[in-house]
Amino acid sequence: MSIETLQTLAAPIRSQSLAKLAASADNAVYRGGGWTVDVSRQYLTAEIETALLAHANDVNLTGTLDDLFSAAIVNPSENRPALHWALRMPPESELTKSEHETTLRALEKAAELGSSGQYSAIVHIGIGGSDFGPRLYADAFGDRQLDAIELRFCANVDPLDLDLALRGLDPAKTLIIGISKSFGTEETLYNLARARSWLEAALSAEQAARHLLLVTANPDRANAWLDGNQATTLDMPISVGGRYSIWSAASVAVMASFGVETFQQFLTGAAEMDAHVKTTPIDRNLAARMALLDFWNTSFLGFGSRAVLAYSRRLRMLPTYLQQLEMESNGKSVGPTGADAPLSTAPLLWGGEGSVGQHSYHQWLHQGTHIVPAEFILAPGSHSDPEGVEALTAHALAQAEVLANGRSLAEVNAEEPELTEVVARQKVHPGGRPSTFMTAPELTPARLGALIALYEHRTYLAGALWQINPFDQWGVERGKTMATRLKPALRGEAKAEDAATQNLINLLK
Ligand code: F6P
């Protein structure tokens, strides 16, 4: 019933002025975990909000959250709970104690690495969820890195990536950290094997193994790979998905090179957001409201993408991180019962760093023919040079205003009467482009933790609204299988089954 109501409400709303909707928006600001979120420039009215909340009630979104936080099986295709939140919250019961302890062990190991003086560099090797999170964290807090340990990353199976990561390093002073939940990912195993050879070219096999630290949920495979040599291993819990694993031992490299205390603040911020999401009724619950907005914009208003515009140098990698989190989680069209998702699901997520993006794709956002809801994230903080902070803030506010309100022909003519009609028309901004504005006073490790936890919960709840399982990823498997099958064709030992692929192989030769 609520779906039909929402469909009826969607049709007329797009012709409304966003400026008017914003002026009449009541209760459009939500708060939690140190973040404030203003959705007044979205295509929402009190009636639509009521219908969305009625739908949340119909599908028992509160129960969906209870399931997550009570460690129920929320990942039915793999028959597992999803326990990423348990890594950052002190355990309330025995149920999640062992998961939490894996993070505590990683923190201990990181403290030991940081103080040992044994290593001057760490090379973090992993891909996807075993890479994006620690890389985002390291990029965000580059100004806080401890001097003692240089941190480098390698993810790509393109051999140049590891060449660059190892360049100029001394094997005797380098620790290679390999992260793979499955310990079966081709890219990571390839890079790890090359890194091990690099160590072994300078050290004995036994010594080389001591320069390896492996983080995995599959210790049997890791031990087989070690082939009898002794290396340190840390556990990744099986019930924590790769893209939800930033809170786990997967982050041991950043824990060591940015300090354990900083990472603990990051965990504490995430736990603050967890507490908000767990206990706040749906109508004031940040994650639920944002998931309902995603549901509304995508499945009823038909917006096929969302732009994350991070007005923060610290968050320039956030869109890349969120692409995996949201699109690998909810880029699906069949639900856990095997039924087709009844409505369109997760939009394309893209974006970048403001104000840099203003000199690139903002032209398209303002005057292109596609309307893309934008998500501004601004956490300006203070700086000894306030001029830049003021400019950053002014740019973010201005972009949101122009996207929503546009610039009419009358305004262009009034402001620039010397223009010809032809030029004036080209300066019109149609407006009507909705946005959300997310702010925090400063992007500290705690606020980053809260922000990521918010996106995780939002993703989970949006998955429930779309009736899909956000915790599996069958869609990435087929390509991996096919790549393996194509290797003989690349070597000329067989022909590719697909003619177009074989033609491409011929071209490559
Ligand atoms: O891309 C598929 C995927 O399974 C991701 O979900 C995961 O984060 C990544 O590969 C890496 O997996 P692993 O940590 O098992 O190497």
CA 105 from chain centre, in angstroms, equals: 25
CB of 128 closer than 6 A to ligand 1?
A: yes
Let me know if 457 is a catalytic residue: no
Q: What is the mean pLDDT of the chain?
A: 96
**Could you write out the DSSP letters of every residue in 213-263?**
EEEES-HHHHHHHHTT---EEEE--TTS-GGG-TTSGGGHHHHHHH-HHHH
For residues 436 and 38, the answer to whether their CB atoms sit within 8 Å is yes
Residue 449 near ligand 1, beta carbon < 6 Å:
no
* Strands of the 435-439 sheet, one edge to the other: 29-32, 35-41, 435-439, 374-378, 305-311, 348-353
CB atoms within 10 A of CB 193: 12
CA 444/CA 269 separation, integer angstroms: 9
Query: Is the beta carbon of 331 within 6 A of some atom in ligand 1?
Result: no
Supply the pLDDT for residue 1. 62
Tell which one of 77, 179, 181, 191 to mutate to probe ligand 1, the residue whose CB is within 8 A of the most ligand atoms: 181
The pLDDT > 90 percentage for the chain reads 91
Q: Which residue has the tokens 């990823």?
A: 473
Strand partners, 234: 215
Give the ligand 1 atom nearest the CA of 179.
Answer: 14
Residue 301 pLDDT more than 70? yes
Q: What's the mean pLDDT in 209-233?
A: 94
Q: How far apart are the C-alpha atoms of 392 and 386, rounded to whole Å? A: 10
Longest C-alpha distance within the chain, in Å?
A: 80
With 0-12 / 13-18 / 19 or more C-beta atoms within 10 angstroms meaning exposed / middle / buried, residue 407 is middle
The DSSP result for 87-135, as a single string, is GTSPPSSGGGHHHHHHHHHHHHHHHHHHHH---SEEEEE--GGGTHHHH
For residues 256-266, give the mean pLDDT: 96
Residue 313 sits at the vertex; the CA angle it makes with 356 and 156, to the nearest 5 degrees, is: 90
Query: What value does the mean pLDDT take over residues 485-508?
Result: 93
**Helix and strand tally (H, E) in the chain?**
22, 11
Question: Which position has the higher pLDDT, 230 or 192?
Answer: 192
Q: 506: which residues sit within 8 A by CB, 6+ positions away?
A: none
> Active site includes 480?
yes
pLDDT digits (tens, 9 = 90+) for 450-469: 999 999 999 999 999 999 99
Ligand 1 lined by 130 (C-beta under 6 Å): yes
* Residue scoring higher pLDDT (167 or 485): 167
* For the chain, percent of residues with pLDDT exceeding 70: 100
Rounded to whole angstroms, how far apart are CA atoms 396 and 472? 35
| Protein residue whose Cα sits closest to atom 13 of ligand 1 | 180
Q: Is 115 exposed, middle or buried (0-12, 13-18, 19+ CB in 10 A)?
A: exposed
Confidence of residue 26 (pLDDT cuts 50, 70, 90): confident
Minimum CA distance residue for ligand 1 atom 10: 128
- Do the beta carbons of residue 174 and residue 208 sit within 8 Å? no
Cβ neighbors of 460 (< 8 A, separation 6 or more) are 64, 68, 74, 82, 287, 291, 329, 470
Strands 174-179 and 121-125, how do they pair? parallel
The mean pLDDT of 278-292, rounded to a whole number, is: 98
pLDDT for 382-409, tens place per residue? 888 899 999 999 999 999 999 999 999 9
User: Pick from 306, 317, 290: which is nearest to 346 by CA?
Assistant: 306
The single residue of 359, 387, 493, 509 carrying the catalytic annotation is 359
pLDDT for 98 equals: 93
The model's pLDDT over 78-136, given as tens digits with 9 standing for 90+, comes to: 999 999 999 998 887 788 899 999 999 999 999 999 889 999 999 999 999 999 999 99
Question: Which one from 370, 480, 487, 495 is the annotated catalytic residue?
Answer: 480
β-partners of residue 36 are: 31, 439
Q: Look at the alpha carbons of 281, 284, 287, 291 in this order and tell me if their dihedral is positive or negative.
A: positive
The whole-angstrom separation of Cα 269 and Cα 456 is 14
Verify whether ligand 1 is closer than 6 Å to residue 187 (CB atom).
no
List, for residues 411-446, the tens digit of each pLDDT value. Answer: 999 999 999 999 999 999 999 999 999 999 999 999
